[in-house]
Structure 1
Amino acid sequence: MGVTLNADPREVGLCPQRLARIEPWMDRLVADGRLAGLSVSVQRRGKTVFARACGQADMARGTPFTLDTVTRIYSMTKPLTSVAVMQLYEQGLFQLDDPVSRFLPEFAEMRVAVGGNRAKIETEPARRPITIRDLLTHTAGLTYGFMDATLVDAVYREKGIDFLAREGTLAEMTARTASAPLLAQPGEAWNYSVATDVLGYFVEVVSGRPFADYLRDEVIAPLGMVDTDFHLRPDLMDRFCACYVFDRERKLRPFDDSVETAYARPPAIPSGGGGLVSTAADYHRFCRMILNGGELDGRRLLGRKTVALMASNHLDGDLAAMGTPRFAETTYTGIGFGLGFSVMLDPAKAQIVGTPGEIAWGGMASTAFWIDPAEDLAVVLMTQLVPSSALPIRKELRVLTYAALVD
């Protein structure tokens, strides 16, 4: 079931004429060949006041992009994995400042890269252990091999550290990660990384259940996210979209097919950092749970104080103050990071309209969400263009949406 309009925007303090500006913006993106298709849905005070899809989910097959199109949400998986971690935290099974090596001993005695070259990387001992909070906040010193910017990134590629790989196990990939040197001393720099994938294995070890089963049973199913999983059920195949990338002429070409896709079968490794497929309606249910302080439709997943802790900035300043991030699903200045998503600190410094305390994240295929507790607002953008930095659509949508607030 797709997102359904259930309120006049004026009932919840939004101007219908201003909100309607989103429609021609969407149409231009498709008409200009910048996106194959997309959907935007806006909820305020629990009411859906805007929901529209346009363009194509599969250009080769002429399949329309609809409100219930199933997309690869990639890193929008991370907030769900973080909720799973915090559920176990609420059970008293660990503290945020516990060394991860207490549960994953392969992370004991880590070393940090300090120089050298591809032939021989110079390292020094980590000055303190990696903690659970370091993993939740991407300050553990881990990285992604695809960034291709440092010697440690190269090590990740050489070791085949890729949690979206179609062979191996979650335990094996985590062990490979622990065998690589750290990019920075734990806690000293913010660097986007496989940390949330490692947390997936952490959930598996602490809960004693396979990570995919735990996430389905304790997060996805209780939220009623009926079209969200690590692979496509057969009945979802006709709603799955193709994914695109720009060629050298800035024309859209296929990145992953909607039918001949690896998502048609369960993955070898359930990636807590980027493995889920989902829909706009499903992700809005996650957003509403966060806005409700951990509860949805009578099911409580987290306590409200835990949600408040997750939505707090855990960095010493903004992302820019924690070194020079090489990649993120957000800008750096004026933006902090909580336990699983970014946190708006200062809209003026971020140079974008918004609200302090707003939390957000996105995915590699240009999907995005943000949750504004002060405005009781949630917005979900679904599309499929790799990489997410190819177009400034997230910023543009934020401006269009916030401009419609009039109460």
Structure 2
Amino acid sequence: MAAVSEDSQAAGLHDGGPLPRAAPEAVGMSSERLARIIPMLRAETQARRLPGAVLAVARRGHLVFYEAIGYLDADQSTPMPLDAIFAIASMTKPIVGAAALMLLEEGRLGLADPVERYLPQLGARRVAVLNEPVLSGCGPVETVVAERSITIEDLMRHTSGLTYGGRGTTAVHRLYPASSDAAGASLTAAEFLDRLAAAPLLFQPGTVWDYGLSIDVLGLVVEAIAGQGLGGFLEQRLFRSLGMTDTGFQVPLGKLGRLARPLARDPDTGATQTVPDRGKALRFECDGAGLASTAADYLRFVQMLLDGGSLGGTRVLGRKTVEMMRMNRLASGIENCISAVDPLSDGYGFGLTVAVRERAGSLMGSPGDFFGNGAYGTHWWADPQEQLAVVFMAQTPGLQRRHYRQIVNALVYQAITD
């Protein structure tokens, strides 16, 4: 089980920031307009709707805004530090995508490869017939033979037919683990694969975008090819290269004091809310949601993607590989259900583990901008046209996380002046 490195100060990231700094005006942004962000977020913490947050904004490769607001804990006893560590949920997925693309660049993996080449358990699939008994949640589940294998591309763009059990009420959903976190906390990797192998696919491979367990399987493909655990592979090949010294599948004892916590209750519903404790080891490194990270670390990852695969003279991926990653891969024959999962994602298609803007939608941005969100309140996006990279870290697992995504989006873009 890979742990977050103890030596976060060695890279000097927390002293000077994750990227070279610049005055906002030097890169076409307004200091005065960026300053609007702090009172807005502070008001949210004072109203006890937001425990605290860290926001990092970079333009043209330079850090222009890097602030911690509010508190690390629900009882507001510890101010939020810049190097706070957050459970990033599905923001794990693009990192696993980058790992898979490294193997693709080495000729060890291809997008058209069938998944059973690496994980034989997932071959010879059957697909559920979505008739009335299945849709009502009663069953029994009738199946037909899959028209083709699940491919690596299907895993990376969520068209595999592997779903999240917690995202539906059909009789098929009941056969799947509820989420990546639920799988990682309760199953070994072998048990997870056996569970998926026994369940029918919800859709024929390559026909419907459906958010689910695809990236968890992709991570196990990486492990099978690399011959090592995913956490070790990421540490050696990605995190060290990018100086991501506080990112891993388990936060070590010496850093638990920096682990951010949510409010005890959802401010809208009053329901009890929690975030998985990343100080505890998972049974397997659930590749769809298991990482913890900081705003600084993740901004360096996003900036690497924005810069075409390199950061500070260190190349992680080839430029054309990153271009392929952030190209919409939902062809006209694939049903795009992204906005059904997240209404703020209208206007987006999907590339290789990242959502990609195709047209105007609810949020400001540019054609070709790309993003990833986490279910516990973290999100990021990159806008190649504006040379903009943004990472927002908070632990808000309720639906108010969509509210912060909207307001941070607006407050960052309104500060662009050129």
TM-score (normalised: structure 2) = 0.89
Aligned to 2:10: none
Asked if the contact 1:18–1:404 (Cα under 8 Å) also holds between the matched residues in 2, the reply is yes
Structure 2 residue aligned with 1:234: 253
Shift of the alpha carbon at 1:391?
4.0
Structure 1 unaligned regions, length at least 5: none
State the 1:107 CA deviation.
1.6
- Give CA deviations for 1:274-305 in whole Å, capped at 9, x if unaligned: 00000000001101111221112332211100
Q: How does 1:7-156 map to 2 (within 5 A)?
A: 7-60=22-75, 62-114=77-129, 115=131, 116-117=133-134, 118-156=138-176
Residues 245-324 of structure 1 mapped to structure 2, 5 A cutoff: 246-247=265-266, 250-251=269-270, 255-256=274-275, 262-316=277-331, 321-323=335-337
Give how far 1:313 is off.
Answer: 0.3
On the 8 A contact 2:164/2:173 being kept in 1, the answer is yes
Residues 1:235 and 1:252: Cα distance change in structure 2 (over 3 Å): farther
Structure 1 position 222 matched with structure 2 position 241: yes
- Name the amino acid aligned to 2:166: F
Provide the secondary structure at the position in 1 that maps to 2:278: helix
Following superposition, the deviation at residue 61 of structure 1 comes to 6.3
Shift of 1:247: 4.3
- Aligned counterparts of 1:291 and 1:381: Cα–Cα separation in 2: 16
2:8 is matched with: none
Q: 1:323 to 1:79 in 2, by over 3 A?
A: closer
1:73 and 1:276 in contact (8 A); partners too: yes
Q: How big is the shift at 1:235?
A: 1.9
The amino acid of 2:199's aligned partner reads A
Shift of 1:318: 11
Q: Do 1:174 and 1:201's aligned partners in 2 also have CA atoms closer than 8 Å? A: no
For 1:175, give the aligned amino acid.
Answer: D
Displacement of 1:148 after TM fit?
Answer: 3.4
Cα 1:84/1:191, change in 2 over 3 Å: same
Distance between the aligned counterparts of 2:211 and 2:337, measured in 1? 12
Q: Distance in 2 between matches of 1:354 and 1:248?
A: 29
The structure with the largest strand share of the pair is 1
1:65 and 1:317 map into 2 onto residues whose CA distance is 45
Tell whether the 8 Å contact from 2:344 to 2:362 is kept in structure 1 after alignment.
no
Aligned partner of 2:341: which letter?
A: F
For residues 351-407 of structure 1, what are the alpha-carbon distances to aligned partners after superposition, in whole Å with 9 as ceiling and x for unaligned? 321011111011011100001111111011000011356541101111111111111
Native 8 Å contact 1:163 1:197 kept in 2: no
CA contact (8 A) 1:38 1:55 kept: yes
SS at match of 1:265: coil
Which residue of structure 2 aligns with residue 327 of structure 1?
341
State the Cα deviation string for residues 121-158 of structure 1 (Å, max 9, x = none): 11111111111000000011111112233222111159
CA distance in 2, matches of 1:346, 1:180: 36
Gaps of 5+ in 2: 1-12
Letter in 2 for 1:176: R
Q: Distance in 1 between matches of 2:71 and 2:398?
A: 18
Counterpart position of 1:370: 381
Give the conservation status (yes or no) of the 8 Å contact 1:136–1:339.
yes
1:194 corresponding residue in structure 2: 213
Distance change in 2, residues 1:308/1:318 (3 Å): farther
Query: Contact 1:317 / 1:336 at 8 angstroms: preserved in 2?
Result: no
Work out the CA distance in 1 between the residues paired with 2:374 and 2:106.
Answer: 30
Check the 8 A contact 2:128/2:203 in 1, yes or no. yes
Q: 1:248 to 1:394 in 2, by over 3 A?
A: closer
235-244 vs 7-16, greater mean Cα deviation? 235-244
Contact 1:57 1:69 in 2 (8 A): yes
Report the alpha carbon displacement of residue 162 of structure 1 after superposing the two structures with TM.
Answer: 5.6
Task: Give CA deviations for 1:319-348 in whole Å, capped at 9, x if unaligned.
Answer: 9x52576524x634310111011001112x
In structure 2, the CA distance between the partners of 1:244 and 1:153, relative to structure 1 (3 Å rule), is farther
Moved more, 94-103 or 162-171: 162-171
Change (3 A) 1:266 1:64: same
Distance change in 2, residues 1:139/1:296 (3 Å): same
Q: Once the two structures are aligned, what percentage of the paired residues are identical?
A: 38
Q: Which one of the candidate residues 354, 363, 366 is aligned to 1:341? A: 354
Aligned residue-pair number: 398
Where 1:392 maps in the other structure, the secondary structure is helix
Normalised by the length of structure 1, the TM-score is 0.91
User: Secondary structure of 1:48's match?
Assistant: strand
Give, in angstroms, the shift of residue 168 of structure 1. Answer: 3.4
